[in-house]
Amino acid sequence: MQDGKRHLILIGFMGTGKSTVGKAVAELLQVPWRDTDLSLETEWGHSIPEYFKRYGENAFRQAETGMLAKCLAEKPAVITTGGGIVLHPGNRDLMIQNGYVIHLQADANTIIKRVKQDDPKRPLLAGNQVEKKVQELMQEREGYYDFADFTIDTTASSLQKIINEVVQYWQ
C-alpha cells in the first residue's frame, strides 16, 4: 500500500453485487479497480470453471490467495474478491490489515435469483440444484464475513444507493 490511502475491499457471498458495485465505485472515485477472479482469469488465459476442472478447488484457493496478496501490494484501489476468499484465515487478516473491508450481503432468495440470472460461470454451483447449494454454502460460511469493517445489505437497495454508501468509505 502507498500514499497513506487504504484499499477499499469488497467481500461477500456470490451474487451480492461485489464486482458491479466495485467497478462503479472505482470509476466514480477514479481509482484502479482490481478483481481477484478477473485478474486470475487474465493471468491464466482461461476461465475459473476451466481452472476448477483442470486443477480443483484447493489449487484455486491458493491461486486466489496469491492474487489477493498481489492486489494488496499495489497502489490503493477498489478490490473485489471471490465469495470464498474469506475461507482462508490468512486472507481475512491480510484484508483487515491493508484496507477497509466492506461486506455486501443479501438474503438467500435474492442471491438465488441473481446467480440464476448470471452466466453459468460459478463452478461451485454448476451441476447442482442452485437453491440447495446456495443454502448449504451460506450455512457453511455463516460468520465468515463478519470480520468486515462494515456490512451493507443489498437485498432491497438500489445499485445507486449501495454505490453512494460504499464511496464514503474511501479515505
Query: Is 12 part of any known ligand binding site?
Result: no
CA distance 10 to 21: 9
Nearer to ligand S3P, 83 or 99 (CB): 83
47: helix, coil or strand?
coil
Contacts of 4 (CB under 8 A, 6+ apart): none
Nearer to ligand S3P, 66 or 171 (CB): 66
Contacts with ligand S3P by CB under 6 A: the residue count is 10
DSSP state for residue 100 in the 8-state scheme: E
DSSP state for residue 86 in the 8-state scheme: G
Query: Is 118 part of any known ligand binding site?
Result: no
Query: Is 154 part of any known ligand binding site?
Result: no
Does 14 engage in binding with ligand S3P (CB under 6 A)? yes
Nearer to ligand S3P, 5 or 103 (CB): 103
Among 76, 83, 102, 163, interactor with ligand S3P by CB under 6 A: 83
Query: Is 22 part of any known ligand binding site?
Result: no
Tell me which residue has cell 479497480.
33
Site string for ligand S3P, 122-161 (x = CB under 6 A): xxx-------------------------------------
Nearer to ligand S3P, 36 or 98 (CB): 36
List residues binding ligand S3P (CB under 6 A).
14, 18, 37, 48, 82-84, 122-124
List binding-site positions: 15-20, 37, 61, 83, 122, 141
